[in-house]
Structures are given as C-alpha cells and as structure tokens.
Amino acid sequence: MSNHIQLLPDPIANQIAAGEVIQRPASVVKELLENAIDAGSTNIQLIIEDAGKTKIQVIDNGQGMSPVDARMCFEKHATSKITKVEDLFNLSTKGFRGEALASIGAIAHVDLKTKRTEDETGTLIEMEGSEIISDKECASVDGTNFCIKNLFYNVPARRKFLKSDSVETKHIIDEFQRVALPHPEIAFQLVNNNSEVYNLTSGSLRQRIVSLFGKSYDEKIVPVKEDTSIVDVKGFIGKPENAKKTRGEQYFFVNDRFIKSSYLQHAVTKAYDSLLAERAYPSFFLFLDIDPESIDVNIHPTKTEIKFEEEKSIYAIIRSAVKQALGKYNVAPSLDFDQESSFDQFGSFNPAEPVSPPEIKVDKTYNPFESQRPERSSGGSSSFSNSRNSYTEGFKSGREEQSWKSFFDDLESKGEIVYEEEKEQETLFDKEVQSNLFFQIQGGFIITQMKDGLVIIDQHHAHERVLYEQFLKSVEDQSSGVQQLLFPENIELNASDYVMLEGVLPDLVDMDFDIRPFGKNTFAIYGAPAELSDTNVKALIESLLDHAKANSGWLSNDVQEKLARKLAHLGAVGRTKKMTAEEMEALVGQLFQCQQVQSTPDGKPTMIKHGLRDLQKQFLH
C-alpha cells in the first residue's frame, strides 16, 4: 500500500503562508513600510495604483541591502533580527518573522532595486511566483525601492474576493496612518493614482496628528504624559465636547507598534466618566513605552494584539493619566463655590434704566367651546408639508367636502360627469384613519383615531420608514428630487474619509444628493433630497462616515440599501421635535402610503394600535 503524506512544493507552501500574512493590498503596504522604518529611513514614499491591485511601490532612503541580502530576503523565514530564541521576547523592531517578502514574492510580480551607501552600484532583482527571473547590477540611489505589481495574479480566488477600490484604498490609508503616526521624525508621502494624498514632513507628534486628520484637531486635543516604573504613557486625548457617536480616531501604540485592545479602551472611557454624553466616544492617540520582555507581540499573525504581564496595573495607569490630563487642562467641569448659582439667571441690573412692568396680552376672540377646527399655521418645518402633494387633496374639512359633494351631485344629475369603470382605490390612510385630529404627546408620539380604536405613532420611526422608501424609490426611478442649498457647504475630511465618501458618491447622487469634489480632501454640498430640507446635511454625511469607519466592511455589498437605511435613521425627525397639526397629518399620511407600514427598516415598530374592545376591557374590570 503506497504512502499518502508528502511535502508540499515550496511555491504552494509559500502561497498558503501568504494567505495568513497577506490578506489584502493593505497587508503588503504594512509590511513594506515597517521594513523601510527598520532600515533607518528618514524619507519614505508610498505609491499605489488601482487600490494596490495593479501596483504598490515603496521607496526609502534607508541603509539598503547587499547583493546577497537582496536575494536572501525572499527566502522563507530569512531575517536579520532574530538569531536565538530569547530574541523573540526582546523585540525592538517591527518586522521580524521573515515571512512577509517570501509571501509577497509568491503571489505577485516583484521588482527590487537596492543599494548601500558604501557600494558603487545597486542590485536589481525581478521575481514572479517565488522564482527569481533576473538578478543583476544596476544604477541606483542609496536605499531600497520595492515595486509590487499584479497582486494575487496567480491566486484568482483571493483576488476575486477583494472589495471595491474605495474600500481597499481606505484600508491602505488606515495602515499608512498607523505606521506614520508613531514616527513623526520620518517624512512620509502617499500618492494614489498619480494624486498626492499625504505629504508629511518631519515634526512633532501634534503636527503629525494635525497633518493626518485635519487642522481642526489642533484645537480638539490635549496632551497626556505619565512616567512610571511599569509603563510610560504619552500622547493626546480628545476633549469631551468633540466626542463622536461612533468610535472614531482611537489609537494605541506599544513601543511604536499599533495594537487593538478593548480592555485598554475601557480604561480611557472610564476616565471620561460623567463628561461624555450617552454612547459618545472620545478620540485618543496614546503611546505606551514598556520593557519588551514584559509583553508578547507574537500571538497574532498581524501583530495587532499583544499580552501584558501587568495588565491591571497598566489599566489603572492609563485611566489615571487620562483623568489627570482632563483636569490639568481644565477640560473637566469645575465648580465655583464663591458664587451663588441662582444669580446666574439674572442679567446685569442698571438702576439708571427705568423698569417697565410686564404686559399680559389676552385674545378676546378666543372661545374654548368653538367646534370649528382652526387653520393650521404655515410656519415651522416644510419637510413634511412639501412632500404631501400626492395625497393632500383627500384631507379636506367636513364643510369643504359637503360643498364639493353637492357640486358634483349637481353635475352628475345633468350628465356632465361620466365615471370610468375602474374606480380609484381607497388608500390605506382613508381606510384606517378616521379622524383629522392629531395630537402630539411628550416624547415624540402622535395619537389619532382609527376605524376600530386609536393608534399611537412614533414620529421618529415613522419618518425613518418614510425616508427609507423614498431613498430607494429615487434610486429605482432615477428621478431628481434635489433641493438646492442657498449657500453650498464645504466638508473637509481626512484622506481616509475622503476616499470612502468618493466611493459611495454615485450612490448618494442616485438618492438625490448633490455633492461634488472641491479641492484636496474637500467636498462641496450643493443640494440634498427635499425630504431632508430641515436636516444639517453636513453633520448627516459626517455621521454616515463615522458609522462606516466603526463597522468595517459595512459598505462592501448592498451599498444602496445600507446607505438608504442609515441615512433614513440619521435624517429622521427627532422625538423632541414639536410638530404642527399639518406636519403630523402629512407624516401619518406618508407613512400609510409606504409598502411596509408597521415597522422601520430595522424591524422596530412604527405604531401601536389599541382597539375599542381592548379599551372597553380596561374600564370594565
């Protein structure tokens, strides 16, 4: 009987290993940037094309490699950073496993050009699928130039499951930011499809944060610094008033290596106790310097998770350092015990000015027993009244309906009206709602009478359902319902958010948003759907991007449906909004015209019905 177990050929083994190390183009970017930093570079340039699928190029001015090292770097488990087992527990560099370049070489076309300062000529190596096809001398500047082309060309299944260009580009920018943040002394440049995204000069940590995330961050952050025998903590934290509803810019670095830790995130959040609104998350950029022997960075393939020997002590130190920074820079609220707070409500008093008694105005024509329905005010929000033209003709007072009925009866008797065989169907609103009186109670609920009882409608959930179906209808019908803004608004974003918004821009245009690029990392908002006329569109877009960042892969599929759902949730009228009778009537009418009346897109109820029998039972018991 023959044997069945055999060793895999090296090319296949390298492709399997590449699946663990190289998950997407961003993984290649991370490995090459870290190698450039370990080489002692002071200037690093990253060039990508087609979200890294066509080309990823990293050029540095580091120490370069000898001809022998240039060939050896593509061998599996070849590294210059580990010589004995003890080195695994005393790591001060970023890349150390010797797997990255071997894995990259197995799934791409690689051109390597490198030269040391002491060498007269450089080395050029060309590789395809783990095989070196060219190795020769060449003219080169000092440093290393890696050019990765046609990533996953021989692994079509992996290439097939890559996300859209905007999503993959965002992942690349995220990795770029995570590498550039802890190294403000190094100049970085990022070029995407021949367009410069970042050009970061060397400087301070604060300057690097502002350069990466926008000028506004200069006023939003305060410094943190705490040195102990266990760990040294430094960096910046965001002011409480700038906290976001989703987790935004939250970065932990241990010995200049980016990590993820929900445990340490909780320590920061606890330091903000009573300073943040409910479900609000602060920004922070915290750097921990710790003895490498007291941590283990080799527990995760991407090295983003580590183990601490004294985890609880580090938790307490971080919490204390953040809390101290909030107090030191007067971010935390303070009490003035020398002033009586009740006096604050009064304005300044000038004895020289005459004091006039308050006037009480009484409407002498008001009659509380008047049964006629008052005319509704035309003021207030127009977002509901503007969009009710399709069914507003059915909302007439009893007196108007009676006069029109007698008018049509007269025409019918004279034979001047001929009815079609197919009679217009009665709407669900006409069938269900039996009253033209609408009441709003505290908490944003609308009450009206129905055929067999009464109904309580959640105005936020109802408007969410209405907006959701209107957004999808705009996409389906390709109809233009854009309401132009009187003055266009500019929205300035960081590079990652800009790429993300650029990727979903066609879908937003289909939903009647008029948003256009306006300079570097900036968009101009010229118009929005008429249903959002009373909404802060800029804040709406920013909230949408925050949600997308907090939920990785959210926009990878079913983009239009997800955008419609989230935009409806963010743009729906709040529960604290006081609505006129006309607005309530319009909203309820719109709700009953929806295909799904009972619930929001997320399955939350829009209304609760109370039948007459149920009400009678409540009083008979």
**pLDDT-derived band of residue 156, with 50, 70 and 90 as boundaries?**
confident
pLDDT at residue 125, rounded to an integer: 94
Amino acid at site 254: V
**pLDDT-derived band of residue 10, with 50, 70 and 90 as boundaries?**
low
Is the per-residue pLDDT at 486 higher than 80? Answer: yes
3-state secondary structure of 62: coil
pLDDT at residue 127, rounded to an integer: 92
User: What is the domain-level CATH number for residue 213?
Assistant: 3.30.230.10
Amino acid at site 373: R
Which strand (E) or helix (H) includes residue 255? none
Which strand (E) or helix (H) includes residue 146? strand 143-149
Which residue carries 């002394």 as its tokens?
Answer: 185
pLDDT at residue 362, rounded to an integer: 64
The 10s digit of each residue's pLDDT in 302-337 is: 567 788 888 999 999 999 999 999 988 765 554 444
Contact between 41 and 143 (Cβ < 8 Å): yes
Bridge partner list, 50: none
Is the per-residue pLDDT at 150 higher than 90? Answer: yes
For residues 181 and 316, membership in a common domain is answered with no
**pLDDT-derived band of residue 228, with 50, 70 and 90 as boundaries?**
very high
**pLDDT-derived band of residue 520, with 50, 70 and 90 as boundaries?**
confident
For residues 284 and 302, membership in a common domain is answered with yes
- Domain assignment present for residue 498? The answer is yes
For residues 391 and 434, membership in a common domain is answered with yes
- Measured CA to CA in angstroms, residue 169 lies from 37, 191, 608 at distances of 22, 11, 46
153, 183, 203 — which closes off a domain?
Answer: 203
203, 218, 233 — which closes off a domain?
Answer: 203
User: What is the domain-level CATH number for residue 63?
Assistant: 3.30.565.10
pLDDT at residue 390, rounded to an integer: 44
pLDDT at residue 619, rounded to an integer: 79
For residues 281 and 400, membership in a common domain is answered with no
For residues 181 and 82, membership in a common domain is answered with yes
Q: Report the percentage of the chain scoring pLDDT > 90.
A: 33
User: Worst-scoring range by mean pLDDT, 28-32, 59-63, 142-146, 481-485?
Assistant: 481-485
User: What is the domain-level CATH number for residue 495?
Assistant: 3.30.1370.100
- Domain assignment present for residue 89? The answer is yes
The 10s digit of each residue's pLDDT in 347-402 is: 444 555 555 666 666 666 666 555 444 444 444 445 565 554 444 444 444 444 55
For residues 140 and 234, membership in a common domain is answered with no
Residue-number span of the structural domain to which 589 is assigned: 380-411+426-621
Is pLDDT larger for residue 478 or for residue 445?
A: 445
Amino acid at site 292: P
Best CA proximity match to 21, nearest among 1, 35, 5: 35
Number of domains in the chain: 3
Which strand (E) or helix (H) includes residue 308? strand 307-308
- Domain assignment present for residue 168? The answer is yes
Best CA proximity match to 169, nearest among 32, 250, 56: 56
Which residue carries 């969009």 as its tokens?
Answer: 387
Q: How far apart are CA 458 and CA 452, in angstroms?
A: 19
Alpha carbon 438 to its chain centroid, in Å, reads: 37
- Domain assignment present for residue 523? The answer is yes
Q: How far apart are CA 258 and CA 99, in angstroms?
A: 19
For residues 192 and 229, membership in a common domain is answered with no
- Domain assignment present for residue 50? The answer is yes
Bridge partner list, 135: 125
- Domain assignment present for residue 342? The answer is no
Its pTM stands at: 0.71
Burial class (CB in 10 A: 0-12, 13-18, 19+), 298: middle
Is pLDDT larger for residue 19 or for residue 132?
A: 132
Is the per-residue pLDDT at 487 higher than 50? Answer: yes
For residues 132 and 175, membership in a common domain is answered with yes
For residues 407 and 500, membership in a common domain is answered with yes
Phi then psi for 26, rounded to 5 degrees? -60, -30
For residues 108 and 158, membership in a common domain is answered with yes
Return the beta strands (E) in 451-545 as ranges: 453-458, 482-492, 514-517, 522-529
For residues 246 and 172, membership in a common domain is answered with no
User: Worst-scoring range by mean pLDDT, 65-79, 265-279, 303-317?
Assistant: 65-79
Q: How far apart are CA 500 and CA 58, in angstroms?
A: 23
pLDDT at residue 394, rounded to an integer: 42
Contact between 282 and 268 (Cβ < 8 Å): yes
Q: How far apart are CA 563 and CA 597, in angstroms?
A: 20
Alpha carbon 478 to its chain centroid, in Å, reads: 26
176, 203, 230 — which closes off a domain?
Answer: 203
- Domain assignment present for residue 114? The answer is yes
The 10s digit of each residue's pLDDT in 80-115 is: 555 555 555 555 566 544 568 888 988 999 999 999
> 405-415: buried (b, 16+ CB within 10 Å) or exposed (e) per residue?
eeeeeeeeeee
For residues 386 and 251, membership in a common domain is answered with no
Mean pLDDT across the chain, nearest whole number?
Answer: 79
Name 30's Cβ contacts closer than 8 Å, sequence gap at least 6.
175, 178, 179, 302
Name 172's Cβ contacts closer than 8 Å, sequence gap at least 6.
25, 26, 29, 48, 51, 52
- Domain assignment present for residue 339? The answer is no
Best CA proximity match to 501, nearest among 536, 537, 474, 463: 537
